[in-house]
Amino acid sequence: MTAFICTACGTQYPPSDAPPDACLICTDERQFVPASGQSWTTLERLRSAHSNKFRRLAAGLTTIETTPAFGIGQRAILARTPAGNVLWDCVALIDDATVDLLKGLGVVVGIAISHPHYYTTMVGVEPRARGSADPPACG
């Protein structure tokens, strides 16, 4: 079974044999379904066509952005503090380089999200940021 990811917003769904009929986030009136229609990818396909770019904004602040842009172009900000690191928002792409960077910069003690579609990526990145091998099924 595959955990499908909506290409419009980056929401990952629980593993299934087929993609969902519709993305619950994109069918909300505050979001949209692209004119081309609903489409899906997987984490494996996302990893093969995209990568994450890390940029230092200021001392203790690093952005993580997926290139080329994916979903709504979301980006995460890693805030490093003496009490531990905090991720503000998440990206849909969870790859080894991102996990290595997060682990190398210290323990992630919390993740704050600003939009509901970030929740599914938070569920996937949080265990790996803390040292677990692979993300669990998201949903």
What does the pLDDT look like over 17-43, one tens digit per residue? 999 999 988 888 888 788 888 899 999
Domain that holds residue 85: 4-129
| Pairing outcome for strands 84-88 and 108-112 | parallel
Query: CB under 8 Å to 45, separation ≥6 — which residues?
Result: none
pLDDT for 48-96, tens place per residue? Answer: 999 999 999 999 999 999 999 998 888 999 999 999 999 898 888 988 9
- Is 139 within a domain? no
Q: Note whether 99 and 64 are within 8 A (CB).
A: no
- Is 99 within a domain? yes
- Is 104 within a domain? yes
pTM here is: 0.76
